[in-house]
Amino acid sequence: MIPIISVTNLTKKFGDMTAVDGISFSVPTGGIFAFLGPNGAGKTTSIKMLTTLLAPTDGTIEIGGKSPQTDQDAVRRMFGIVFQDPSLDDELTAYENMEFHAVLYSVPVTLRKPRIEELMRFVDVWDRKDSLVKTFSGGMKRRLEIARGLLHHPQIFFLDEPTLGLDPQTRNHIWAYIQKLSKEEGITVFFTTHYMEEAQRVAQQVAIIDHGHIIATGTPQELMTKTKSASLEDAFLSLTGHEIREEEASSKDAMRNRRRMWHGGR
């Protein structure tokens, strides 16, 4: 199958810190692909480069045969995204957030209303369409973001920890939506998560990144067989070790923030 995303030798450096170090992988068209790794492994940085938000230091990315650097708008039209942190405007209503997105992505005026309604019904937020988003719960915001990301009929759907901080009911709901989408509309789903059982259940292909390197790729079953583990979580731990990374990553983040505050966004 022709890959919809191919990444070759992708590298990103922040000053002398290398966040992503020469990674290569490809994502088959139409599948569900999990991009896993401990905190600070380089997942979010990679997604930012794939989605035109960050320029790579080195290496090439092809999304549907186009480069996020030189063909930004074509690539941007091709994907939808749900970011790790909420990215809705709290002061606008749910419907207005959707409409804003529709206008930015040039969804034709006549299709706008039915498409927005269809998607908001799909994620069960249509009855709250005129409420300000700041009155929404975390789960509702997430669902609305999923609906928004799908509004312009993307071929690829990026989800950066889409179920973080949500209760099991909402998480199950969200995965059910996503699997349905992938099956019925043939959308390629690219997601990250820390919940390994979700990845094991949903993903057809997995890539594990650690310290900026891809250390394993394959189906969940292949990774489990390779590491002689009973679950993907055990396979993940056996591949990435038990050391906790949180501290290192967050202090680096804070440093990067402080530096950016004084020297401009780099």
**Burial degree of 190 (CB within 10 A; 0-12, 13-18, 19+):** buried
| Site membership for another protein, residue 253 (CB under 8 A) | no
Residue located via tokens 């999923």: 146
Q: Is 51 in the site for another protein (CB under 8 A)?
A: yes
| Of 16, 73, 130, 243, the one binding another protein by CB under 8 A | 73
- Alpha helices (H) in 83-189, listed in sequence order: 94-104, 109-122, 138-150, 168-185
Question: Shortest approach of another protein to residue 215 CB, angstroms?
Answer: 27
Out of 28, 30, 86, 218, point to the residue binding another protein (CB under 8 A): 86
- DSSP per-residue string spanning 40-75: TSSHHHHHHHHTTSS--SEEEEEETTB-TTTSHHHH
For position 200 contacting another protein by CB under 8 A, the verdict is no
Q: Does 83 bind another protein (CB under 8 A)?
A: yes
Residue 219: both structure tokens together: 């189906």
Does 100 contact another protein by CB under 8 A? yes
DSSP 122: H
3-state SS, residue 188: strand
CB of 148 to another protein, least distance (A): 8
Could you give the C-alpha distances from 69 to 53, 73, 75, 151, in angstroms and in order?
Answer: 9, 9, 9, 23
Which listed residue (23, 37, 46, 76) binds another protein by CB under 8 A?
76
Minimum gap (Å) between residue 77 Cβ and another protein: 5
| Contact flag: residue 52 with another protein (CB under 8 A) | yes
- Residues near another protein (CB under 8 A) are 48, 51-55, 72-74, 76-77, 79, 81, 83, 85-92, 96, 99-101, 103-106, 132, 148, 257-258, 260-261, 264-266
